[in-house]
Amino acid sequence: MATMLSGAAIMDGAVLVIAANETCPQPQTREHLTALDIVGVKNIIIVQNKIDLVSEKDAIKNYEQIMDFVKGTCAENAPIIPVSAHHDINIDVLIKAMEDRIPTPERDTDKPPLMYIARSFDINKPGLRPHELKGGVVGGSLMHGVLNTNEEIEISPGRKIEIEGKQVLEPIRTSVHAAFTGGMSVDKATPGGLLAIGTTLDPARAKSDSFAGRVVGKPGHLPDVLDSFNLSIHLLKRVVGTIEEKNVEPLKTNEPLMLTVGTATTVGIVTDIREN
Protein backbone atom coordinates (compact mmCIF):
# COMPACT_ATOMS: atom_id res chain seq x y z
CA MET A 1 0.00 0.00 0.00
CA ALA A 2 2.80 2.45 0.86
CA THR A 3 4.38 2.05 -2.59
CA MET A 4 1.05 2.58 -4.32
CA LEU A 5 0.24 5.68 -2.27
CA SER A 6 3.60 7.29 -2.97
CA GLY A 7 3.30 6.46 -6.67
CA ALA A 8 -0.26 7.79 -6.90
CA ALA A 9 0.92 11.11 -5.47
CA ILE A 10 2.50 12.02 -8.83
CA MET A 11 -0.30 10.72 -11.07
CA ASP A 12 -2.72 12.86 -13.09
CA GLY A 13 -4.91 9.83 -13.69
CA ALA A 14 -4.89 6.05 -13.49
CA VAL A 15 -5.67 2.96 -15.55
CA LEU A 16 -7.04 0.20 -13.29
CA VAL A 17 -6.40 -3.17 -14.93
CA ILE A 18 -8.69 -6.06 -13.94
CA ALA A 19 -8.33 -9.57 -15.36
CA ALA A 20 -11.48 -10.97 -16.97
CA ASN A 21 -10.49 -14.54 -16.07
CA GLU A 22 -10.46 -13.86 -12.30
CA THR A 23 -13.19 -13.09 -9.82
CA CYS A 24 -13.44 -9.36 -9.12
CA PRO A 25 -12.26 -7.92 -6.83
CA GLN A 26 -8.97 -9.59 -6.04
CA PRO A 27 -7.25 -8.34 -2.82
CA GLN A 28 -4.66 -6.37 -4.82
CA THR A 29 -7.35 -4.75 -6.96
CA ARG A 30 -9.21 -3.63 -3.85
CA GLU A 31 -5.93 -2.25 -2.48
CA HIS A 32 -5.16 -0.33 -5.68
CA LEU A 33 -8.61 1.27 -5.79
CA THR A 34 -8.39 2.22 -2.12
CA ALA A 35 -5.02 3.90 -2.75
CA LEU A 36 -6.53 5.94 -5.60
CA ASP A 37 -9.46 6.90 -3.37
CA ILE A 38 -7.16 8.00 -0.53
CA VAL A 39 -4.93 10.12 -2.74
CA GLY A 40 -7.92 11.62 -4.53
CA VAL A 41 -7.24 10.52 -8.12
CA LYS A 42 -10.42 11.25 -10.06
CA ASN A 43 -9.49 10.55 -13.69
CA ILE A 44 -9.71 6.77 -13.87
CA ILE A 45 -10.16 4.26 -16.69
CA ILE A 46 -10.90 0.60 -15.98
CA VAL A 47 -9.44 -2.00 -18.33
CA GLN A 48 -11.06 -5.43 -18.41
CA ASN A 49 -8.08 -7.35 -19.73
CA LYS A 50 -7.67 -10.93 -20.99
CA ILE A 51 -11.10 -11.11 -22.64
CA ASP A 52 -9.58 -13.56 -25.11
CA LEU A 53 -9.31 -16.14 -22.31
CA VAL A 54 -13.01 -16.26 -21.39
CA SER A 55 -16.35 -16.83 -23.08
CA GLU A 56 -18.72 -13.96 -23.84
CA LYS A 57 -20.96 -15.09 -20.95
CA ASP A 58 -18.09 -15.08 -18.46
CA ALA A 59 -16.82 -11.73 -19.75
CA ILE A 60 -20.26 -10.19 -19.11
CA LYS A 61 -20.37 -11.76 -15.65
CA ASN A 62 -16.94 -10.31 -14.84
CA TYR A 63 -18.07 -6.91 -16.19
CA GLU A 64 -21.03 -6.96 -13.79
CA GLN A 65 -18.69 -7.84 -10.90
CA ILE A 66 -16.54 -4.83 -11.78
CA MET A 67 -19.63 -2.57 -11.83
CA ASP A 68 -20.64 -3.78 -8.37
CA PHE A 69 -17.09 -3.41 -7.04
CA VAL A 70 -16.61 0.23 -8.08
CA LYS A 71 -20.08 1.38 -7.03
CA GLY A 72 -19.77 4.21 -4.51
CA THR A 73 -16.02 4.66 -5.11
CA CYS A 74 -13.95 7.23 -7.00
CA ALA A 75 -14.14 4.90 -10.04
CA GLU A 76 -17.94 4.59 -10.10
CA ASN A 77 -18.30 6.60 -13.30
CA ALA A 78 -15.10 5.35 -14.94
CA PRO A 79 -15.46 3.73 -18.38
CA ILE A 80 -14.82 -0.02 -18.49
CA ILE A 81 -13.01 -1.04 -21.67
CA PRO A 82 -12.69 -4.74 -22.61
CA VAL A 83 -9.20 -5.41 -23.93
CA SER A 84 -6.92 -8.20 -25.03
CA ALA A 85 -3.42 -6.80 -24.65
CA HIS A 86 -1.94 -10.03 -26.03
CA HIS A 87 -3.86 -9.70 -29.31
CA ASP A 88 -3.93 -5.86 -29.45
CA ILE A 89 -7.73 -5.82 -29.28
CA ASN A 90 -9.29 -2.44 -28.34
CA ILE A 91 -5.91 -0.84 -27.59
CA ASP A 92 -6.87 2.04 -29.88
CA VAL A 93 -10.10 2.52 -27.91
CA LEU A 94 -8.11 2.56 -24.67
CA ILE A 95 -5.69 5.20 -25.99
CA LYS A 96 -8.63 7.35 -27.14
CA ALA A 97 -10.23 7.05 -23.69
CA MET A 98 -6.97 8.06 -22.02
CA GLU A 99 -6.79 11.15 -24.24
CA ASP A 100 -10.40 12.07 -23.43
CA ARG A 101 -10.64 11.10 -19.75
CA ILE A 102 -7.20 12.02 -18.42
CA PRO A 103 -6.59 15.58 -19.59
CA THR A 104 -3.26 17.27 -19.05
CA PRO A 105 -3.77 19.65 -16.09
CA GLU A 106 -2.61 23.23 -16.17
CA ARG A 107 0.86 23.64 -14.65
CA ASP A 108 2.16 26.75 -12.92
CA THR A 109 5.64 27.43 -14.27
CA ASP A 110 5.91 30.77 -12.46
CA LYS A 111 6.17 29.20 -9.00
CA PRO A 112 9.55 28.12 -7.60
CA PRO A 113 10.28 24.55 -8.78
CA LEU A 114 9.17 21.64 -6.60
CA MET A 115 9.94 18.06 -7.59
CA TYR A 116 8.82 14.92 -5.75
CA ILE A 117 11.55 12.28 -5.78
CA ALA A 118 10.26 8.74 -6.39
CA ARG A 119 13.59 7.08 -7.29
CA SER A 120 17.32 7.65 -6.93
CA PHE A 121 20.15 5.53 -8.23
CA ASP A 122 23.76 5.14 -9.32
CA ILE A 123 24.06 4.76 -13.10
CA ASN A 124 27.77 3.87 -13.11
CA LYS A 125 28.86 0.40 -14.16
CA PRO A 126 31.48 -1.56 -12.24
CA GLY A 127 35.05 -1.02 -13.46
CA LEU A 128 34.78 2.63 -14.47
CA ARG A 129 37.78 4.87 -13.88
CA PRO A 130 37.30 7.72 -11.36
CA HIS A 131 37.27 10.35 -14.12
CA GLU A 132 34.49 8.45 -15.93
CA LEU A 133 32.09 8.38 -12.98
CA LYS A 134 28.80 10.30 -13.19
CA GLY A 135 26.95 11.84 -10.26
CA GLY A 136 23.88 10.36 -8.60
CA VAL A 137 20.51 10.52 -10.38
CA VAL A 138 17.13 11.39 -8.85
CA GLY A 139 13.85 10.68 -10.62
CA GLY A 140 10.28 11.77 -10.06
CA SER A 141 7.85 14.47 -11.17
CA LEU A 142 8.14 18.23 -11.25
CA MET A 143 4.91 19.52 -9.71
CA HIS A 144 5.38 23.19 -10.63
CA GLY A 145 8.08 25.63 -11.68
CA VAL A 146 10.99 25.07 -14.05
CA LEU A 147 14.40 23.43 -13.57
CA ASN A 148 17.34 24.37 -15.79
CA THR A 149 20.65 22.60 -16.27
CA ASN A 150 23.62 24.01 -14.34
CA GLU A 151 21.15 25.45 -11.80
CA GLU A 152 21.79 25.04 -8.05
CA ILE A 153 19.22 22.87 -6.27
CA GLU A 154 18.61 21.56 -2.77
CA ILE A 155 17.31 18.16 -1.70
CA SER A 156 15.14 18.23 1.41
CA PRO A 157 15.06 16.93 4.11
CA GLY A 158 18.83 17.08 4.31
CA ARG A 159 21.35 14.69 5.82
CA LYS A 160 21.19 13.95 9.54
CA ILE A 161 24.37 14.82 11.40
CA GLU A 162 25.20 15.16 15.08
CA ILE A 163 26.49 18.41 16.55
CA GLU A 164 27.28 18.60 20.26
CA GLY A 165 25.10 15.57 20.96
CA LYS A 166 22.10 16.88 18.99
CA GLN A 167 20.88 15.64 15.64
CA VAL A 168 20.42 18.34 13.01
CA LEU A 169 19.70 18.34 9.29
CA GLU A 170 22.54 19.44 7.04
CA PRO A 171 21.33 20.84 3.68
CA ILE A 172 22.09 18.71 0.61
CA ARG A 173 22.95 21.08 -2.21
CA THR A 174 24.06 20.19 -5.70
CA SER A 175 23.41 21.30 -9.27
CA VAL A 176 21.46 19.99 -12.24
CA HIS A 177 24.16 18.40 -14.39
CA ALA A 178 21.65 16.91 -16.86
CA ALA A 179 17.89 16.45 -17.23
CA PHE A 180 15.99 13.72 -19.07
CA THR A 181 12.27 13.40 -19.76
CA GLY A 182 10.38 11.33 -22.33
CA GLY A 183 13.64 9.60 -23.22
CA MET A 184 15.22 12.89 -24.30
CA SER A 185 17.88 15.15 -22.83
CA VAL A 186 16.59 18.67 -22.14
CA ASP A 187 18.15 21.90 -20.92
CA LYS A 188 14.88 23.09 -19.37
CA ALA A 189 12.51 20.78 -17.50
CA THR A 190 8.84 21.71 -17.10
CA PRO A 191 6.06 20.05 -15.03
CA GLY A 192 4.29 16.90 -16.16
CA GLY A 193 5.50 13.37 -16.83
CA LEU A 194 8.52 11.73 -15.27
CA LEU A 195 11.85 13.52 -14.94
CA ALA A 196 15.36 12.27 -14.20
CA ILE A 197 18.01 14.69 -12.98
CA GLY A 198 21.70 13.96 -13.12
CA THR A 199 23.49 15.69 -10.25
CA THR A 200 27.03 16.25 -9.06
CA LEU A 201 26.38 14.24 -5.87
CA ASP A 202 28.47 11.23 -4.91
CA PRO A 203 26.62 8.38 -6.72
CA ALA A 204 27.01 6.16 -3.64
CA ARG A 205 24.65 8.51 -1.77
CA ALA A 206 21.93 8.18 -4.41
CA LYS A 207 21.93 4.41 -4.95
CA SER A 208 19.10 2.07 -3.86
CA ASP A 209 16.45 4.84 -3.83
CA SER A 210 18.08 6.47 -0.80
CA PHE A 211 16.63 9.88 -1.77
CA ALA A 212 13.12 8.57 -2.52
CA GLY A 213 10.48 10.57 -0.67
CA ARG A 214 12.49 13.77 -0.56
CA VAL A 215 11.79 16.92 -2.59
CA VAL A 216 13.95 19.02 -4.90
CA GLY A 217 13.80 22.77 -5.30
CA LYS A 218 15.76 25.98 -5.17
CA PRO A 219 17.58 26.71 -1.89
CA GLY A 220 15.37 28.80 0.36
CA HIS A 221 12.14 27.90 -1.44
CA LEU A 222 11.41 24.42 -0.07
CA PRO A 223 8.66 23.41 2.41
CA ASP A 224 9.53 23.34 6.11
CA VAL A 225 10.66 20.02 7.60
CA LEU A 226 8.34 18.87 10.42
CA ASP A 227 8.94 16.20 13.04
CA SER A 228 5.53 16.55 14.74
CA PHE A 229 2.11 17.80 13.64
CA ASN A 230 -1.62 17.50 14.29
CA LEU A 231 -3.92 15.82 11.80
CA SER A 232 -7.54 14.85 11.39
CA ILE A 233 -8.14 11.17 10.69
CA HIS A 234 -10.71 9.22 8.74
CA LEU A 235 -10.36 5.47 9.24
CA LEU A 236 -11.39 2.99 6.58
CA LYS A 237 -14.14 0.59 7.60
CA ARG A 238 -12.32 -2.50 6.34
CA VAL A 239 -8.69 -3.63 6.13
CA VAL A 240 -7.53 -3.75 2.50
CA GLY A 241 -5.11 -6.16 0.87
CA THR A 242 -6.45 -9.29 2.59
CA ILE A 243 -8.74 -12.02 1.28
CA GLU A 244 -10.81 -12.00 4.47
CA GLU A 245 -12.54 -8.75 5.31
CA LYS A 246 -11.45 -7.41 8.69
CA ASN A 247 -12.64 -4.35 10.58
CA VAL A 248 -10.18 -1.49 11.15
CA GLU A 249 -9.51 -0.98 14.86
CA PRO A 250 -9.42 2.50 16.47
CA LEU A 251 -6.03 4.18 16.87
CA LYS A 252 -4.25 3.96 20.20
CA THR A 253 -1.72 6.19 21.95
CA ASN A 254 1.91 5.10 21.33
CA GLU A 255 0.81 3.09 18.29
CA PRO A 256 3.25 3.25 15.34
CA LEU A 257 1.78 4.41 12.05
CA MET A 258 3.15 4.36 8.53
CA LEU A 259 2.78 7.83 7.03
CA THR A 260 2.76 8.62 3.32
CA VAL A 261 3.09 12.28 2.31
CA GLY A 262 3.75 12.92 -1.36
CA THR A 263 6.27 10.25 -2.35
CA ALA A 264 7.65 10.05 1.20
CA THR A 265 6.94 7.03 3.37
CA THR A 266 7.98 7.10 7.01
CA VAL A 267 6.90 5.90 10.46
CA GLY A 268 5.41 8.03 13.22
CA ILE A 269 4.12 7.47 16.74
CA VAL A 270 0.68 8.53 17.98
CA THR A 271 1.36 10.78 20.99
CA ASP A 272 -2.16 11.93 21.78
CA ILE A 273 -5.71 11.26 20.56
CA ARG A 274 -8.58 13.68 21.09
CA GLU A 275 -12.14 13.72 19.83
CA ASN A 276 -12.85 16.27 17.10
pLDDT mean by block of 10 residues, the chain; 276 residues: 65 92 91 84 94 96 96 93 95 95 89 95 93 95 95 94 88 95 93 93 93 94 90 76 75 88 87 82
Cβ-proximal residues to 30 (8 Å cutoff; 6+ apart), any chain: 69, 240, 241
For the residues of 216-276, what is the DSSP string, one character each? EE-TT-SPPP-S---------SB-SSSSS--BPPPP-TT-EEEEEETTEEEEEE-------
Closest alpha carbon to 270 in 242, 229, 236, 218? 229
In angstroms, the CA 183 to CA 167 distance is: 40
* Domains along the sequence of the chain with CATH: 2-101 (3.40.50.300), 114-217 (2.40.30.10)
The distance from CA 167 to its chain's CA centroid, rounded to whole angstroms, is 29
**Amino acid 1: pLDDT:** 60
Closest alpha carbon to 48 in 93, 1, 10, 13? 93
pTM of the full structure: 0.78
